[in-house]
Each structure stands twice: as structure tokens, then as C-alpha cells.
């Protein structure tokens, strides 16, 4: 029997962390349904990095996956590997090698490009893995958007089709009007015909962006210069600033209306071609653009130094102190 292998490749900011958390939490239940989410990892980033760096060949990984299947008494017919960084790679030919051993399908989630850019901007500030993107202003960030080649969806999906075959590409649309009640998790499970191991919950968001004002504060901080785990401590401390102020993940808009229209016009032809090819309609995304009257979130810090200290600097230091004490086992720890 040739088994199924599903690559969940992203894109970022489409509920990938929630899907991965769900699959990881249900590893045992998934096995009872014949599905293996292997390596006890929430996300398979290290495995995928090893594959694309050449440290592990497709043949080696396929053999490892088959060994893990054989180690189980129950019949396993499907393997799922998930890493949203897959989609940022311009050539996925290495994954095409897996078709020699498995029935391979690839799941790619699409978010409207203007909304994705806003979310990706805030996420780059939050985690600061790329200094060229972590500290720039929004206009500077948008000027670099051509490097995000994977959100030229039509072009990128054609690449997927060349490698995996049109019939093996599954597209999910990350848009409120086109998603089921269970959000990204239910959408993913439904798209691969996976009966849910547990009820789709409506818990807190996984890996949410910070509020714009907190993000602006973080943009000015050199978090990318801090070693782990100190960097994680700083990021967690910044998260507590927003929580203390009652700030939720931003739903406010960042891109001005006219610029938003220009951005989407640049992708319109490709989006329309993809909509025709996969959904037999003219529009890929159905939700209307925000009206010109909608206000933009202000990514500004208080001009008054006392307020800046009170609202951001002092809470940051307090959160760092509290986190340090917690990690040291209590206030009395040395």
C-alpha cells in the first residue's frame, strides 16, 4: 500500500500555529485514525531545514518515516508534516522526490495580500529574526514586499502544480467569510478529509500579533541582538505590557486605503486566474476592502517622556523582573 504524505507549507499568518498545536495535541488520537504526526514536534521546522540544507536527503527522510510507520501496531495510512517556512523557499523540487515513495499532497493557505502584509509586518517586529525587516517603518517594509514571492499566489501555485501535479495541490482561503466555524483548524482538517479527533475549540489565538503601539515600542528595541533565552524573556515581557493595558491582537488597519488598492491591483490578475482555475469564479477573496473612511491604527509612542516611562519602560522592566524571579524558582532565589 502506498501511503499518503501531506505537506502543510503555510503561508505564515494563516492560522498555521493553531493547526500545528491542534495536530500535536492530538498525536495519539490521530494515530487511532491512521494518521501520523511524527517526531513529537509541534512544527517540523528543523526537519525541513535539514532537508533543504542537504544534511538529510529525501531518501533518508522517507526511510525514516517508513520506519516510524512500521514501529506502530495500528495501520497508518497518512503522514502530515507541517512547517510554514516551506513556502518561503523558491524551489520545492526536493519535496517532489517524496512522490517516489508516497502519494503526496500539499496544503497551502492564502490570505488576501494587503491583510497578510500588515500581519507579517507586525510579526517580524515581534520575533525579530530578520534585522532588515524588524526595525523598519511600515513604508520601508512595504517597499520590500517583492521579496515575499510566495504571495504572488498564482505564480507560486503554478510552481506547486509543476512539482506535485494540479490534482495534488489543496488551497485554503484564510478569510472570515470563507472559513468554517472552527477557523483555520477545521478548514485544514476538512481540506484533507480528516475527521476531527476533538471538538474544534474557540480558545485564545495562537501566536497573535501585538497591538500596534506595543509593536512600535518593540520596533525600537534591539531584541534581535539578545541571545536566547534572554530574547524570549524580553518578548514575553513586551507581551505583558499589552496585556496589562488591555490591548488585544490588532484588528486595526495599518495601510492607507489608496495604497491598499494599489497593492491589490498588483496581484489582481494572478488572483483572478487562480480563482478561475481552482474555484470557477472571478474573485479569489470575497470580503470587501475596508472603506476609505476606516481609521488607521497609529504606531506612535507617547511624546511625553513621563508617559513613555509609565506606559512602556517601567512595565517592561517589571515584567522582566517577574519573569526572572519565576524562572529562578521564586523571589528568594539567588
pLDDT in tens, 105-162: 999 999 999 999 999 999 999 999 999 999 999 999 999 999 999 999 999 999 999 9
**Are 90 and 40 members of one domain?**
yes
Mean pLDDT of 267-276: 98
**Are 124 and 221 members of one domain?**
no
- In DSSP notation, 172-199 reads EE--GGGS-TTHHHHHHHHHTT---SSP
- CA neighbor of 278 nearest in space, from 166, 115, 156, 112: 166
Q: How far apart are CA 329 and CA 306, in angstroms?
A: 33
At residue 178, the pLDDT reads: 97
Residue 333: which pLDDT band, with cuts at 50, 70 and 90?
very low
At residue 246, the pLDDT reads: 56
At residue 243, the pLDDT reads: 72
Q: How far apart are CA 111 and CA 166, in angstroms?
A: 20
At residue 220, the pLDDT reads: 95
Could you tell me which residues come within 8 angstroms of residue 221 by beta carbon, excluding any fewer than 6 positions away?
A: 234, 238
Q: How far apart are CA 183 and CA 178, in angstroms?
A: 9
Which residues, listed in sequence order, are joined to residue 103 by a DSSP beta bridge? 4
Residue 310: which pLDDT band, with cuts at 50, 70 and 90?
very high
Q: How far apart are CA 254 and CA 121, in angstroms?
A: 10
Q: How far apart are CA 295 and CA 320, in angstroms?
A: 34
**Are 222 and 78 members of one domain?**
no
Mean pLDDT of 259-274: 98
Q: Examine the pLDDT at 51 and tell me if it is beyond 80.
A: yes
Q: How far apart are CA 228 and CA 233, in angstroms?
A: 8
Q: How far apart are CA 45 and CA 17, in angstroms?
A: 12
Q: Examine the pLDDT at 250 and tell me if it is beyond 70.
A: no
Q: How far apart are CA 172 and CA 208, in angstroms?
A: 20
Residue 244: which pLDDT band, with cuts at 50, 70 and 90?
low
Mean pLDDT of 263-274: 98
Q: How far apart are CA 212 and CA 253, in angstroms?
A: 9
Domain count, the chain: 2
Q: What is the CATH number of the domain that holds 38?
A: 3.40.50
Domain span including residue 72:
4-128+148-191
Q: Examine the pLDDT at 276 and tell me if it is beyond 90.
A: yes
Among the listed ranges 80-89, 188-197, 225-234, 282-291, which one has the minimum average pLDDT value? 225-234
Q: How far apart are CA 197 and CA 188, in angstroms?
A: 13
**Are 181 and 313 members of one domain?**
no
Within a domain: 314: yes
Could you tell me which residues come within 8 angstroms of residue 276 by beta carbon, excluding any fewer than 6 positions away?
A: 282
Residue 247: which pLDDT band, with cuts at 50, 70 and 90?
low
- Per-residue buried b or exposed e for 181-207, using 16+ beta carbons within 10 Å of the residue's own CB: ebbbbbbbbebbebeebeebeeeeeeb
Cα of 64 vs its chain's centroid, Å: 26
Higher pLDDT, residue 199 or 184: 184
Mean pLDDT of 11-17: 97
Mean pLDDT of 56-72: 97
At residue 331, the pLDDT reads: 47
Within a domain: 111: yes
Return mean pLDDT, the chain: 92
At residue 334, the pLDDT reads: 35
Within a domain: 207: no
Within a domain: 202: no
Among the listed ranges 19-28, 168-177, 221-230, which one has the minimum average pLDDT value? 221-230
**Are 30 and 172 members of one domain?**
yes
**Are 77 and 166 members of one domain?**
yes
**Are 240 and 124 members of one domain?**
no
Q: Examine the pLDDT at 307 and tell me if it is beyond 50.
A: yes
Q: Examine the pLDDT at 308 and tell me if it is beyond 60.
A: yes
Residue 200: which pLDDT band, with cuts at 50, 70 and 90?
low
CB-CB neighbours of 103 under 10 Å:
15
Residue 14: which pLDDT band, with cuts at 50, 70 and 90?
very high
**Are 153 and 103 members of one domain?**
yes
**Are 79 and 220 members of one domain?**
no
**Are 161 and 227 members of one domain?**
no
Within a domain: 243: yes
Mean pLDDT of 303-316: 93
**Are 18 and 152 members of one domain?**
yes
Within a domain: 78: yes
Q: Examine the pLDDT at 229 and tell me if it is beyond 90.
A: no
Packing angle between helix 257-279 and helix 153-164, nearest 10 degrees? 30
Amino acid at each position: 500500500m502506498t501511503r499518503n504524505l501531506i505537506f502543510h507549507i503555510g503561508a505564515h499568518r494563516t492560522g498555521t500555529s493553531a493547526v500545528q498545536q491542534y495536530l500535536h495535541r492530538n498525536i495519539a488520537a490521530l494515530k487511532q485514525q491512521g494518521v501520523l504526526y511524527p517526531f513529537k514536534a509541534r512544527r517540523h521546522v528543523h526537519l525541513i531545514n535539514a532537508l533543504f540544507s542537504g544534511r538529510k536527503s529525501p531518501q533518508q527522510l522517507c526511510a525514516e518515516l517508513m520506519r516510524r510507520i512500521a514501529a506502530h501496531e495500528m495501520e497508518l495510512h497518512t503522514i502530515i508534516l507541517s512547517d510554514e517556512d516551506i513556502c518561503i523557499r523558491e524551489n520545492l523540487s526536493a519535496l517532489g522526490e517524496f512522490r517516489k515513495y508516497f502519494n503526496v499532497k500539499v496544503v497551502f493557505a492564502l490570505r488576501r495580500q494587503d491583510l497578510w502584509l500588515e500581519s507579517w509586518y507586525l510579526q517580524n517586529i515581534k520575533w525579530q529574526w530578520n534585522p532588515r525587516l524588524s526595525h523598519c517603518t511600515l513604508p520601508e517594509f512595504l517597499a520590500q514586499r517583492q521579496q515575499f514571492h510566495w504571495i504572488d499566489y498564482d505564480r507560486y501555485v503554478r510552481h506547486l502544480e509543476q512539482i506535485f501535479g494540479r490534482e495534488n495541490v489543496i488551497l485554503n482561503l484564510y478569510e472570515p467569510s470563507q472559513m468554517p466555524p472552527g477557523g483555520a483548524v477545521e478548514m485544514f482538517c476538512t481540506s484533507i478529509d480528516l475527521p476531527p479527533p476533538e471538538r474544534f475549540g474557540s480558545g485564545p489565538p495562537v501566536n497573535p500579533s501585538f497591538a500596534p503601539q506595543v509593536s512600535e515600542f518593540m520596533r525600537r528595541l534591539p531584541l534581535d541582538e539578545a541571545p536566547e533565552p534572554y530574547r524570549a524573556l524580553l518578548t514575553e515581557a513586551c507581551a505583558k505590557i499589552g496585556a496589562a493595558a488591555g490591548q488585544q491582537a490588532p484588528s486595526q488597519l495599518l495601510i492607507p486605503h489608496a495604497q491598499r488598492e494599489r497593492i491589490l491591483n498588483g496581484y489582481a490578475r494572478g488572483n483572478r486566474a487562480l480563482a478561475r482555475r481552482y474555484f470557477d469564479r472571478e474573485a479569489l477573496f470575497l470580503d470587501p476592502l475596508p472603506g476609505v473612511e476606516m481609521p488607521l491604527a497609529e504606531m506612535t509612542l507617547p511624546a511625553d517622556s513621563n508617559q513613555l516611562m509609565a506606559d512602556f519602560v517601567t512595565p517592561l522592566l517589571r515584567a522582566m523582573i517577574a519573569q526572572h524571579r519565576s524562572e529562578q524558582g521564586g523571589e528568594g532565589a539567588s
